[in-house]
Amino acid sequence: MTTICSFDCNQSALKSLIGDKKPVAPVEGVWTNVSARVFEDQVRKLAYGLMVKDFRRGDTLVFTGCTDEMKTFINAACSLAHLNAEFTAQADGLNIVPVTELEYLMSIGGTWSRKYKASVDRTIARLILGC
């Protein structure tokens, strides 16, 4: 995978996305502290998966059943997909994403990465430039 600039080569992009929080991501179904590179790879997969689901730019997604450690990861993916994340124990209505769907979204995101990669690369470049 070729990227414009990965989180490894520019920590400011990662810092822009997650602030001072630790990069925690699901690896083989287990949420764990990860390197900036693994965090980026996993966040991209979720962002691509959200883009595949055809949510509109600026939509708010309500994520249910999330732990605190998941929120930073989900917020980062939503930022790259130009979506807003809200968190609650349970919700009714449109755009609800149960935490149990994250693995599926990342799976389809990995499959569709080629289609959405350029969009996410541009978003990361804007983060780096502060636009």
pLDDT band (50, 70, 90) for residue 66: very high
**Helices marked H in the chain:** 11-18, 36-52, 68-80, 102-111, 113-129
pTM of the predicted model as reported, rounded to 2 decimal places: 0.85
Q: Are 22 and 28 in contact (CB under 8 A)?
A: no
Share of the chain above pLDDT 70, in %: 89
Contacts of 116 by beta carbon, 8 Å cutoff, 6+ apart: 47, 48, 51, 52, 109
Q: Per-residue pLDDT tens for 83-116?
A: 999 998 777 777 999 999 999 999 999 998 889 9
pLDDT band (50, 70, 90) for residue 80: very high
126 C-beta neighbours (distance < 10 Å), count: 12
Q: Per-residue pLDDT tens for 21-35?
A: 999 999 998 999 999
